[in-house]
Amino acid sequence: MSLQKLMEEHIKSLREFANTFFKNKFGVIGVAILSVFIFMAIFAPQISPYNPMDVKSIGVGKPFSPPAWIKIFNKDIPDDSVFGIMGTDELGRDIFSQIIYGSRISLIVGFAASFTAVFIGTIIGLIAGYYGGIIDEVLMRFADILLIIPGLPLMIVLAAILGPSIRNIILVIGITSWPSIARIIRSQVLTVKEMKFVEFARAAGCGDNYIIFKHILPNVMPLVYVNAAINIANAILIEAGLSFLGLGDPNNISWGMMLFFAEQYQALLRLAWWYIFPPGICILLVVLSFIFIGHALDEILNPRLRLRR
Amino acid sequence: MSEFRGYIVRRTIYAMITLFLTITINFFIFRVMPGDPVSIMVSERILKPAVVEEVRAMFGLNLPLWQQYILYIRNLLIGYLGYSFHWKEPVINVIMERMPNTILLMGVSTIFSVIIGIVLGILAAWKRGTKIDVTILTSSLTFYSLPVFWIGMMLLMLFGYYLGMFPIAGTMSRPPPEGFFERILDILHHMTLPAITLTLISYGEYTLLMRGTLLDVLTQDYIVTARAKGLPERRVLVRHAMRNALLPTVTAVAISLGFIVSGATLTETVFSWNGVGRLIYDAMMMRDYPVLQGAFLIISISVILANYVADIVYGILDPRIRYGGQGA
């Protein structure tokens, strides 16, 4: 088959996939929400009206100013006590700009940590499932132990030791969340391994590596995609949690860290809802978009589910 | 019956091996960490260098690693978990002081989330494809996608600070109220918001699991047969489908019971709930490794135990498992 023909085949199957995907309501909503946040992350410097770290001295707002639009409900508030569309934080910094820049951290950590976890998990699942025996036993016992040690406390310990930086947060989430993926991939490999075409490939003299990557991997890929989407959602939630505990990268403001500072500076006591509301809603929307995409992929790629309809 | 005994023996051996490996890894994790607690005391000029060696020797930190490991195992066998550098108490006391708070909070919220989760899951599967199903599905996914600490903060701001209906921090009033019933009411009052928070984020998992397995079961041949026999839909659902669909949920509940003792670090932080989850965080910030090691050990044991019980229960409920050789 010529290269051009191969490409055409590929594009055709992609188009077919896209057609099915965009018929799924959850998938469409997920992609729509995610696109907004990806746009925000890429064009953060262009969209945000202020530098998210600029304090009052360089002309931003008073500390803890509510957003300007509350004057619609209460005309008595003086003009210099309100600020922007989301108000200001404890140092008078613009919350709207922080929210926009925060999308970068969530998405970077989500994608990178999930990529790490899915990569390790898939490789280990493939090896354990394909070779079986003692290799399988050792790898799966190791995965079990990581699943038994409580997740968040383990990540707190690792994050505190490695020190606060985005790279370390990605590492910590990545190396602690591969076991569940490895387990899922392994059980799928066990099923695929028994299929006739694998037997034929072996009879034809194909090597183990060839069989694993050419015959088994393509058949577990749908599962990998679904798990990657769900994993990104979890990674974003974990990043928010670690940052909320003060283990985030102090040089890069993230949504979890905003909530950390909000709690430290008693935003709850001051009833500074404009400070607390936006980060939580943004985390919800981004996480939900990945869950929806995962749900849609699951319905399309997992034929067993289609029977249920 | 002998197959079942064989199954139990296999599961027991497996649990023992896992326990041993977990203890070993738990030991080494905390030895490869940079800066043992004594060197932190030195850097903070709490101790003179001459005293340091003495303290190291006291905690056995000057021995070779393998001797420390033997010492650690021997201490575990006599139930000694070590001594807390920060709290200046045996580790077991530090942990046990906070354990009741955590078990109470986690236990209550687990019970509520399991009940709500199962009921909504059955309802969603029964009314699949309808508005009710979509509403249940969407709300479960939404609560699952919210950061737990944020739900806590919102509830705390609204019901604690703004409306003043619930206390804003702690597990009990200070000083505690007189009388037994007043005291229980006081604890329940403090527990309401954190328990609601935890229930909201965890019920969705059970809903999705219950809905998923029930829908799986409903496509099985025996359900088709039951329907073909003309049995009423409700009877098919209750007598034929639900009994089988409950299996995975029972296992999930059993496994989650193991994590009850690990507490909920984020929720406990928001509500200043004096539990094990918060203790782990504080111990890490103080570099109090013995406490961390002790907490990880107790949690691991209870998780292994819960998994073991789940395996046994599964074996009893589903006969196919115990004849299945590996039984995995």
What is the residue-wise DSSP string for B149-165? HHHHHHHIIIIIIIS--
User: Which residues of A fall within a CB distance of 8 Å from B150?
Assistant: 240, 259, 276, 279-280, 283
Contact B259/A at CB under 8 A: yes
How many Cβ pairs within 8 Å bridge chains A and B? 120
B168 or A5, higher pLDDT: B168
Minimal C-alpha gap between B207 and chain A (Å): 15
Q: Do B145 and A287 touch (CB under 8 A)?
A: yes
Contact B153/A at CB under 8 A: yes
Residue of A nearest to B288 (CA): A157
The structure tokens 């077991």 sit at B92
Residue of B nearest to A286 (CA): B145
Q: Which residues of B107-133 are buried (b: 16+ CB within 10 A; e: fewer)?
A: ebbbebbbebbbebbbbbbbebeeeeb
Q: Is a pLDDT exceeding 60 seen at residue B275?
A: yes
Amino acid at position A49, single letter: P
Contact B33/A at CB under 8 A: yes
Backbone angles phi, psi at B166, to 5 degrees: -130, 155
* Residue whose C-alpha is closest to residue A279's, from A300, A298, A253: A253
| Best-predicted range by mean pLDDT (A91-100, A275-284, B62-71, B294-303) | A275-284
- Mean pLDDT (chain B) is 83
Residue of B nearest to A25 (CA): B134
The structure tokens 């004057």 sit at A71
Q: Which of A156, A160, A268 sits opposite B153 (nearest CB)?
A: A268
| Model pLDDT, residue A76 | 77
Q: Do A283 and B219 touch (CB under 8 A)?
A: no
User: Which residues of A fall within a CB distance of 8 Å from B147?
Assistant: 237, 240-241, 244, 256, 259, 280, 283-284
Give the C-alpha distances (Å, rounded to integers) separating B51 from A34, B48, B89: 58, 5, 20
Backbone angles phi, psi at A118, to 5 degrees: -65, -40
Q: Do A153 and B153 touch (CB under 8 A)?
A: no
Minimal C-alpha gap between A1 and chain B (Å): 41
Minimal C-alpha gap between A186 and chain B (Å): 12
| Model pLDDT, residue B327 | 39
| Model pLDDT, residue A36 | 95
Question: How does DSSP classify residue A94?
Answer: B
- The whole-angstrom separation of Cα B270 and Cα B265 is 9
Q: Which two tokens stand for residue A145?
A: 């132990």
User: Which residues of B fall within a CB distance of 8 Å from A245?
Assistant: 265-266, 269, 281
| Model pLDDT, residue B38 | 60
Mutation target for A interface from B31, B137, B139, B149: give the one with most A CBs within 10 A.
B149
Q: What is the DSSP track for B49-104?
A: HHHHHHHHHHTTTTS-HHHHHHHHHHHHHTT---B-TTT-SBHHHHHHHHHHHHHH
Contact A288/B at CB under 8 A: yes
Going by pLDDT thresholds of 50, 70 and 90, the confidence category of residue B123 is very high
Q: Which of A144, A240, A287 sits opposite B18 (nearest CB)?
A: A144
Q: Across the strands, what pairs with A94?
A: A88
| Model pLDDT, residue A119 | 94
Q: Where exactly are the structural domains of chain A?
A: 27-64+95-308
- The whole-angstrom separation of Cα A133 and Cα A140 is 11
With H, G, I as helix, E, B as strand and everything else as coil, classify residue A126.
Answer: helix
Minimal C-alpha gap between B235 and chain A (Å): 20
| Model pLDDT, residue A306 | 45
Q: Which of B34, B150, B296 sits opposite A149 (nearest CB)?
A: B296
Structural contact between residues A63 and A6, judged by C-beta atoms closer than 8 angstroms? no
Q: Where are the alpha helices (DSSP H) in A67-165?
A: 95-131, 133-148, 151-162
Q: Across the strands, what pairs with B90?
A: B83
User: In CATH, which superfamily holds the domain spanning A27-64+95-308?
Assistant: MetI-like (1.10.3720.10)
End-to-end CA distance of chain A: 38
B155 or A10, higher pLDDT: B155
Tens digit of pLDDT for each residue in B204-230?
A: 989 999 998 888 888 788 888 888 888
Q: Do A280 and B300 touch (CB under 8 A)?
A: no
Contact A268/B at CB under 8 A: yes
| B12 contacts: CB under 8 Å, gap ≥ 6 | B308
Q: Do B153 and A263 touch (CB under 8 A)?
A: yes
User: Which residues of B fall within a CB distance of 8 Å from A161?
Assistant: 33-34
* Residue whose C-alpha is closest to residue A156's, from B281, B278, B198, B56: B281
User: Which residues of B fall within a CB distance of 8 Å from A277?
Assistant: 154
Contact B18/A at CB under 8 A: yes
Q: Which of B146, B219, B292 sits opposite A157 (nearest CB)?
A: B292
Residue segments in chain A with a per-residue pLDDT below the cut of 50: 57, 305-309
| Model pLDDT, residue B102 | 92
Q: Which of B145, B157, B277 sits opposite A233 (nearest CB)?
A: B145
Q: Do A263 and B270 touch (CB under 8 A)?
A: yes
Contact A133/B at CB under 8 A: no
Minimal C-alpha gap between A242 and chain B (Å): 9
Q: Do B145 and A291 touch (CB under 8 A)?
A: yes
Q: Across the strands, what pairs with B83?
A: B90
Contact A262/B at CB under 8 A: yes
Tens digit of pLDDT for each residue in B41-52?
A: 555 555 666 666
Residue of A nearest to B150 (CA): A280
| Model pLDDT, residue A307 | 43
Minimal C-alpha gap between A197 and chain B (Å): 26
Mutation target for A interface from B153, B158, B311, B326: give the one with most A CBs within 10 A.
B153
CATH numbers and ranges of domains, chain B: 2-34+81-317 (1.10.3720.10)
Residue of B nearest to A247 (CA): B285
Q: Which two tokens stand for residue B281?
A: 């965080």
Going by pLDDT thresholds of 50, 70 and 90, the confidence category of residue B325 is very low
Q: Is a pLDDT exceeding 90 seen at residue B29?
A: no
With H, G, I as helix, E, B as strand and everything else as coil, classify residue A88.
Answer: strand
Q: Please report, rounded to a whole number, the percentage of residues in chain B having pLDDT higher than 70.
A: 88
Structural contact between residues B33 and B315, judged by C-beta atoms closer than 8 angstroms? no
